[in-house]
Structure 1
């Protein structure tokens, strides 16, 4: 692709659904309806690839000249998935980027889903033009995190897996939105769990801004005001579309490996202008 591209497709692969849309790269707007299909049961690679093909066909953007970025719920290093969150264990150590490129017959740009959401908020959302340390958290089935320092993404943080003292479950098992639903918590009871989590992050990292994403961020007024923090905390602008938008933005980087580094360095240079 060329740097003059004005639109790209973003695909966000999750444990329950696979979403995609064509995105305007100038401002992060969706240019098409968001297409969503269920993640195939078991989420094995071949089945997930078939679902991604279905999304692209429905969007009618199968042309390989249209840049494509893919977000995936795993640690991603050099195109290889090194973990598996809510997908088959087959993905661990899997050459996922090569697999998708061969299966789709086109170049793609591939990254961790929370990191990609961070790119969306960095370029088009709540973290835009913010210096210092920004921690984005996505509250959903688990807790995804993206760490951004002076406009540069530090990839593959897994801060949803912090542990509480004398507690068997990690932070996401205790404080994710799924825990609220599972344990039938009211907003104030869930906020008590979030208070522990964000206070712990605050103690460990002294951030300048928290950005809270995931679908539940549309109800931010019901729980964010209940938190007592020294750090400013705000809802994400793009909520459940952040993975799509960030994956499309990632497709701006015209080379790989290092595509994620290229785009974050470009965004950092913009922040100093």
Structure 2
């Protein structure tokens, strides 16, 4: 089925048409300029432009959103304007576009793409997908079913959140070399090992692009591998969730 996948972030609103049965991109990507203002009115205006003006789309839309989302409602807003908290994002996006819209947390969307079409395909057991970039996003899966809205990047090590310790943004700010960054990533992964005892880590975001240079310096007991998707993961996963029965995707 063809679905318009949308990914919202401070970098802008990205979109493309996705064939959801195969996880394939069918159109060229379109992206707005970076968003200086992420308040609801500004994002709704940009969303309308992307969906109606650029794609002239009529049909289902899957939207990856940079915050936890429960039943279409935004739960918290650490990475977006706080005016979104308690807002029914699905209803607003549906009204502004005139299309049915399903909204999901962006890292959960990326994880779904990896588990169905990428590095986690056919992988049962307990899998943790981490998006290591500006922050550290997380999605958890048990037998390929999603436990939604986890924020493992907010766990603290000696009073410092993991994303402020080991994110790609922190690496750039502190000009960390490969070994120094790998040491922090290992601290992160060892912490998650002790808490969750997963069967596999899938590491995405900027880290997946650096896998050949960084992974040899990470020594942990749990298997880990780079994510297969890069910038397309959230778009593909968001499009997929718009066509799926949530009872078969979410862990209950």
Scaled by the length of structure 2, the TM-score of the pair is 0.94
Q: What is aligned with 1:53?
A: 48
**Is 1:251 equivalent to 2:237 in the alignment?**
no
Q: Distance in 1 between matches of 2:196 and 2:131?
A: 17
Q: Is the 8 A contact 1:12 1:70 kept in 2?
A: yes
1:10-48 deviation per Cα after TM superposition (whole angstroms, max 9, x unaligned): 101112222111112222111111111134212011111
- Of 86, 89, 106, the residue aligned with 1:93 is 86
State the shift of 1:264 in Å: 4.5
> Structure 1 residue 154 and structure 2 residue 147: aligned?
yes
Q: Which structure has the highest strand share of the two?
A: 2
Give the structure-1-normalised TM-score.
0.87
Which segment is superposed worse, 130-139 or 22-31? Answer: 22-31
Note the alpha carbon deviations across 1:146-173, whole angstroms, 9 max, x for none: 00000110111110100012x2x31111
3-state SS of 1:19 partner: strand
Alpha-carbon RMSD? 1.5
4+ residue stretches of structure 1 with deviation over 6 A?
A: none
Residue 207 (1) aligns with residue 198 (2): yes
2: CA distance, partners of 1:193 / 1:173: 10
1:234 pairs, out of 218, 225, 239, with 225
- Structure 1, unaligned runs of 5 or more: 1-5, 254-258, 266-273
2: CA distance between counterparts of 1:55 and 1:226?
42
CA–CA distance in structure 1, aligned partners of residues 176 and 142 of structure 2: 34
Where does structure 2 lack aligned partners over 5 or more consecutive residues?
A: none
Alignment pair present for 1:20 and 2:15 = yes
Could you tell me how far apart the structure 1 residues matched to 2:117 and 2:168 are?
Answer: 24
Q: What residue is the counterpart of 1:9 in the other structure? A: 4
Change (3 A) 1:89 1:264: closer
Partner of 1:145, secondary structure, is: strand
- Tell me whether 1:179 sits opposite 2:170 in the alignment: yes
How far apart, CA to CA, are the structure 2 residues paired with 1:56 and 1:132? 37
Deviation at 1:221, TM superposition (A): 0.8
Secondary structure, counterpart of 1:131 in structure 2: coil
1:21-40 equivalences under 5 Å are: 21-40=16-35
- 8 Å CA contact 1:21–1:31 kept in 2: the answer is yes
CA contact (8 A) 1:19 1:34 kept: yes
Inter-partner Cα distance in structure 1 for 2:95 and 2:60:
15
Instruction: Check whether the contact 2:147–2:250 (CA below 8 A) recurs between aligned residues.
Output: no
Instruction: Identify the range of structure 1 (93-102 vs 228-237) with the bigger mean alpha-carbon deviation.
Output: 93-102
